[in-house]
Structure 1
Amino acid sequence: MNTTRRALLKASLALPLVTLAPLAWVGPALSSEGVNGEGDTPPLARRMLVIHSAQGPHRLSVELAQTQAQRQKGLMGREVLPADHGMLFTYEREQSAHNGFWMYRTLIALDIAFIDSDGTIVAMMTMPPCESSSPSDCRVYAPGKPYHAALEVNAGYFEQSGINVGDCVSIPSEAGSCQPTN
């Protein structure tokens, strides 16, 4: 394991963090005005993020879901996510391979990349919207590998950009950059 890469990712993801309950959590906050209503959460902080792949660096403007309410809401209710934009979820502690994301009340298809403590993408998948009005009917997308961060972007972005498992993610404003492993 490359200690320099691990230090860079830990520094780059050393943003104000709150541990998130499992994303499959269903409770009153999901159906209350407080989480899903207009003006319910403060604006999300933004950072520039770079994915280093064999096809070159790919820069994204990402929103940071930093509070539990922001993480629970994620990209719910959005009709559009601009190209080269995304949302980054980070965690203080390594998340279980079985903790995942769902698409309840999410209107647009998304790609998700799960990222380990070294900044390496360990799993990727595409998540179509869940059309059910019942959260219990929505599939949970778990990576099958432990992770420290997850990045959501428009569906198809990773394939179109040549981004693969094993590629490296960094936040240049927080730390240096990394190079692809392949």
Structure 2
Amino acid sequence: MLHSKKKGSPLTLNHLLFLLLIVLFFGIITVYNYSKTNRGSGQFNSQISTPTSQNDQDKLVEIQIGDRTVTAELANTDSLRQKGLSFRENLEADSGMLFIFEKPQTPFFWMKDMNFPLDIIWINENTIIDIDENVPFPEKNTPLNQLPKYTPKEQINYVLEINAGYTDKYGIEAGDVVIINF
């Protein structure tokens, strides 16, 4: 009888190890899938919808600054942020592009491939931190290393690009409250 227990013990141990490996495998898959579906969720994602289709990427939001309302396209993915307003010929009145960053940061912007000047409004939470007014567009074929870089004075999580002169015309300045209607 003692002899049969010794034979049965390794088999039972092998079964336990096999079951443990299966549980571990499914646990890893579950954690991976959970983190994949919740990637980047943070303080601002409750307001931010990551595009899942072309229609979501073309979504417009209304942004209230004082008594002015700007209708803005969303730039909330890396590819949309990189492209921005490049290659366009103009921007309609009271319209712009809102760049969304999931975490506060100090990004730099440049006017690569732009065809018209802009005002760049740097926003943290719901307050304008800084404004770069009348940012000129570069001459065609300007080397990248000669393009000026624009950056906010402190960390931000939104950038609004609008037509040059808009902030001066409507008295928009640092410290103004911004309401973004997603």
- Give me the TM-score of the superposition, normalised by structure 2: 0.68
Amino acid paired to 2:78 = Q
Alpha-carbon distance change, 122 to 12 in structure 1, aligned in 2, over 3 angstroms: farther
User: Could you say which residue in structure 1 is the equivalent of 2:137?
Assistant: 129
Report the alpha carbon displacement of residue 171 of structure 1 after superposing the two structures with TM. 2.0
1:138/1:12 CA distance change after superposition, 3 Å: same
Q: Partners in 2 of 1:145 and 1:16 — Cα distance?
A: 25
SS across alignment from 1:112? strand
- Report if aligned partners of 1:104, 1:132 keep a CA contact under 8 Å in 2: no
- The percent identity for this pair of structures is 34
CA distance in 1, matches of 2:176, 2:165: 16
The DSSP-based 3-state class of the residue aligned with 1:94 is strand
- Does the aligned pair in 1 maintain the 2:122–2:131 contact within 8 Å? yes
Structure 1 spans left out of the alignment, 5+ residues: 1-9, 19-40, 175-182
> Which 4+ residue blocks in structure 1 deviate beyond 4 angstroms?
10-13
SS of the residue aligned with 2:129?
strand
- Map of 2:49 onto structure 1: 16
Higher Rg: 2
Q: Deviations over 1:62-105 (max 9, x none)?
A: 00012211110100011110000000001110112xx2110010
Correspondence 1:46 to 2:45: no
Which residue identity lines up with residue 130 of structure 2 in the other structure? A
Give 1:48's aligned amino acid: E
One-letter amino acid matched to 2:64: V
- How well do the aligned residues superpose, as a CA RMSD in angstroms? 2.2
Deviations 1:5-64 (A, max 9, x none): xxxxx779821359xxxxxxxxxxxxxxxxxxxxxx875221111112xxxx11011000
**Counterpart AA for 2:119:** D
- State the match for 2:121 in structure 1: 113
**1:71 aligns to what SS in structure 2?**
helix
Partner of 2:149: 140
CA distance in 2, matches of 1:81, 1:148: 23
How many Å separate the matches in 2 of 1:103 and 1:58?
A: 25
1:66 to 56, 76, 87: 76
Higher relative contact order (CA 8 A, sep 6+): 1
Alpha-carbon distance in 2 for matches of 1:125, 1:140: 11
Aligned residues: 135
Aligned residue for 2:71, secondary structure, equals strand
Unaligned ranges ≥5, structure 2:
1-42
2:44 and 2:103 in contact (8 A); partners too: no
How far apart in 2 are the matches of 1:109 and 1:171?
23
